[in-house]
């Protein structure tokens, strides 16, 4: 199953995501990671807080061994700029977009885009975001 991909195996993952994204909630996509931490940023207009997001991410990254860290970004268009700025400093960064949502639909064998419990999915109007996954979190 591709949730057990070697890409995450034994690495530490730092996810920078919108406050209603809930990346990794209720699936095994990051199940082989050694640890998962999150930086929670605004779900809308995250770019208006870009300097704060960049600074907090850089400060958080300093506490990890660079070679065992993967930074995953799920913050819309802001991820494009942030991935450049972080990769330019030698970090492994992936603008992961909606991979988690697509993976959840795959697990459900969904034939169309459907709402997902405890997540905001911008492609679906009745999304829910009433539960936050239990990870180490840093919030802007």
Write out pLDDT tens, residues 52-79: 999 999 999 988 888 889 999 999 899 9
pLDDT of residue 44: 84
Residue 126 has pLDDT above 80, yes or no: no
Encode 38-55: b = buried (16+ Cβ within 10 Å), e = exposed: bbbbbbeebbeeeeebbe
The overall longest dimension of the chain from CA atoms, in Å, is: 42
pLDDT of residue 95: 93
pLDDT of residue 48: 94
Residue of higher predicted confidence among 3 and 101: 101
Spatial CB neighbours of 79, under 8 Å, sequence gap ≥ 6 = 16, 73, 95, 96, 97
Distance CA 89, CA 84 (A): 9
Share of the chain above pLDDT 70, in %: 82
């Amino acid at each position: 199953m591709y949730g057990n991909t070697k890409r995450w195996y034994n690495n530490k993952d730092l996810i920078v995501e919108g406050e209603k994204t809930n990346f990794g909630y209720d699936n095994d996509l990051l199940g082989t990671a050694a640890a998962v931490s999150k930086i929670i940023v605004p779900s809308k207009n995250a770019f208006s807080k870009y300097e704060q997001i960049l600074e907090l991410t850089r400060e958080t990254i300093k506490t990890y061994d660079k070679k065992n860290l993967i930074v995953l970004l799920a913050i819309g268009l802001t991820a494009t700029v942030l991935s450049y700025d972080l990769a330019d400093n030698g970090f492994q960064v992936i603008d992961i977009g909606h991979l988690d949502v697509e993976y959840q639909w795959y697990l459900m064998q969904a034939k169309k885009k459907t709402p997902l419990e405890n997540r905001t999915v911008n492609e679906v109007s009745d999304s829910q975001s009433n539960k936050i996954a239990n990870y180490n979190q840093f919030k802007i």
